[in-house]
Amino acid sequence: MTKYIFVTGGVTSSLGKGIISASLAKLLQARGYRVTIQKFDPYINIDPGTLNPYEHGECYVTEDGAETDLDLGHYERFLNTPTSKANNITTGRIYQNVINREREGAFLGKTVQVVPHITDEIKRNMRILGETGDYDIVITEIGGTVGDIESLPFVEAVRQFKWEAGPNNALVIHLTLIPFLAAAGELKTKPTQHSVKMLLEYGIQPDILVCRTEHHINADIRKKIALFCNVNINAVVESMDASTIYDVPLLMLKEKLDQTVLSKLKLSHKNEPNLDNWKDFLGRLKNPTSEVRIGLVGKYVELPDAYKSIIEAFIHAGAKNECKVRVQYIPSEQLTPENAVEKLRGLHGVLVAPGFGERGFEGKIEAIRYVRENNIPFFGICLGMQCSVVEFGRNVLNLKDASSTEMNPDTPHPVIAMMEEQKTIVNKGGTMRLGAYPCDLKKGSKAALAYGKTHISERHRHRYEFNNSYLKDYEAAGLTPSGINPDNGLVEVVELKNHPFFVGAQFHPELKSTVANPHPLFINFVAASLAYARKN
């Protein structure tokens, strides 16, 4: 029978429920259990696909094309197993499902209420992954903070679920904060006590408390928390601030979080967790032999979470190259023909990031022109690839005012344009080319050499495509379409001949980079940047 773990948060948001969930899952996986993690978000959007990155960080896309919370990226990077639409549920999705069923007459004239109808739908979604038979343990992270009005139905659903599952089949981990008051020189447990009392008001006794703290918690504080919060002293777990999120599984191992969970769920401790590969990765991450500076040109650079998967992909690829990647954020709207040289000087590589809309578009084009003309390694992702096509069209093919129809619907040279079937769509949500699509790579191309194969599958999130009516002109001038979708002939990868590294990908390679499998394009881009740094 599948066992269920619920992770809630108290005191404040942003304590790292996603990282704790992923770290616990990693430890259980390393012991031989089949584990998955799902995230329940209390906002009313159906999914984060239409949210500005400043609202909620990046939108992470799964293999099956679901637009999801960025925490799913952490789950995949830690566990090296893909997630799906079932791994991220929002309040909007829950209510939409219930309202659709009400319209169909499924409730036989009954008054539709939060309890039992909404909570039943939440519980149904909590069970979906467990009922597949693919997992021994399902970890469910409840977004938001206990006490928020919007997360109440989820907390009530957890209470009901735990009661119905019976003892030893479900447990609740509550993540809270132990603040340090500098003036008093003390750690304070009162916020944690209040947070647990609030959970108790809702009918939930947490089984394990994970306490975020900047300083070590001594035995007296653990005893005090255990006494006031009705938990065993060995179920009070310290979670110290770490220099990297990839330290957290080892910190949780030291605190015996996985052992406590297995004991409470009456599961055998199986083997000791095998974390040799993880420790090897951490060793290379923390002891680099060289360093590169890579510019990330984008329009959401004030919030690093907007490019979370790209930053993590650089960490994985850097460790693989035993190289520290220092990412320099460059706001694309501040780049002009006059200042591009000054802003990009001293970089060993430039990545032009994905995005939507025309803000910062011309700045991205200037960045690409500079790196193309100066033989600096370049990597373009999604809009970054499209910008490289526009820049090449304008400055090499002399296609005056070449552009994407997204930025200029009246451009005389629409080198990037919308697919025909997209033009009739009015609603914005979920209308893009989303999820995994196949791609055939040209033998001998940089992309094929990086992957070590010619048939790949990568994840997409975009509406606009390379306009194939310009294909021959580009190829003749040296910008090679080295990756093609075999089903529809759309260009997926472009490369520039006679350049140390100039690759644009229509897809999002960063979404598939994990600790166990760093993405080959990122590995090769970092390696090319490192070679450039050594030469210059």
19 is in an annotated binding site: yes
Query: CB of 350 within 8 A of CB of 371?
Result: yes
148 is in an annotated binding site: yes
Give the dihedral sign, CA 194/198/203/205: negative
- The answer to whether 224 is a known ligand-binding residue is yes
Which candidate, 355, 363, 374, 296, places its Cα nearest to that of 328?
296
Q: Is 25 annotated as a binding residue?
A: no
462: annotated active-site residue:
no
Catalytic status, residue 323: no
Task: Say whether 195 counts as a known binding-site residue.
Answer: no
Residue 473 annotated as part of some ligand binding site: no
**Does residue 3 have a known ligand-binding role?**
no
- Short-list 428, 406, 403, 405, CA closest to 357: 406
> Is residue 483 marked as binding?
no
- Ligand-binding annotation for 150, yes or no, is yes
Helix (H/G/I), strand (E/B), else coil: 524: helix
Instruction: Reply yes or no on whether 510 is catalytic.
Output: yes
Determine whether the annotation assigns residue 73 to a binding site.
Answer: no
Task: Please tell me which residue in 211, 382, 387, 439 is annotated as part of the active site.
Answer: 382
15 annotated as ligand-binding: yes
Residue 423 in marked binding region: no
Residue 189 annotated as lining a ligand binding site: yes
CA gap 320, 481 in Å, rounded = 28
- In angstroms, rounded to a whole number, what is the distance separating the alpha carbons of residues 114 and 123? 12
Q: Is 338 annotated as a binding residue?
A: no
Collapsed DSSP state (helix, strand, coil) of residue 491: strand
The answer to whether the CB of 380 falls within 8 A of the CB of 505 is: yes
The active-site residue out of 117, 348, 508, 519 is 508
- Checking DSSP bridges between strand 414-418 and strand 403-404, what pairing results, if any? parallel
- Ligand-binding site membership of 284 (annotated): no
Cα–Cα distance measured from residue 361 to residue 404, given in angstroms and rounded to the nearest whole number = 10
Binding residue per annotation — 55? no
Which of 323, 462, 510, 519 does the annotation list as catalytic? Answer: 510
DSSP string, 195-252: HHHHHHHTT---SEEEEEESS---HHHHHHHHHHHT--GGGEEEEE--SSGGGHHHHH
18 is in an annotated binding site: yes
Closest to 347 in 3D by CA, of 368, 328, 332: 328
State the Cα–Cα distance between residues 21 and 37, nearest whole angstrom. Answer: 7
The strand pairing partners of 469, in sequence order, are: none
Residue 242 marked in a binding site: yes
Determine contact, residues 354/510, Cβ cutoff 8 Å: no
Annotated ligand binding at 386? The verdict is yes
Of 328, 333, 326, give the one whose Cα is nearest residue 299.
333
Residues in the annotated binding site for Mg(2+): 71, 141
Residues in the annotated binding site for CTP: 13, 148-150, 188-193, 224
Residues in the annotated binding site for ATP: 14-19, 71, 242
Residues in the annotated binding site: 13-19, 54, 71, 141, 148-150, 188-193, 224, 242, 355, 383-386, 406, 463
Active site residues: 382, 508, 510
Residues in the annotated binding site for L-glutamine: 54, 355, 383-386, 406, 463
Residues in the annotated binding site for UTP: 13, 188-193, 224
